[in-house]
Structure 1
Amino acid sequence: MDIVRAAETFATWTQTHPQDFGEWETDYEEWPATYACARDLVGERPFTRWSDVEKASFLYLLARDNEVEDLADLLSEHPATLAGVAEHVCAAPESAEPDARWQIAAYLPAVGADAIPLLLTLLTDDDEYVRRRALLSLGALGVPAAEGCAVAAWESGLEYQRIAALHVLHQIESLESPQLERSTKPAPATG
Structure 2
Amino acid sequence: MRFIEIYDKIVENKGSILCVGLDPPVDKFNTPVEKMKFCLEIIEKVSQNCCAIKINENFVRDLSLEQHKEITEKIKENNLISIYDCKIGDITNSAISGMYLIKKMGYDALTVNPILGNLSDITKEAHEVGLGVLALVLPSNPESKNYYRKKMEDGEEFYNYFIIDCMKSGTDGIVIGLGRDINPSEISSIRDRLGDDVIILFP
- TM above 0.5, yes or no, is no
The structure having more radius of gyration, on CA atoms, is 1
Greater helix share, structure number: 1
**TM-score, scaled to structure 2:** 0.32
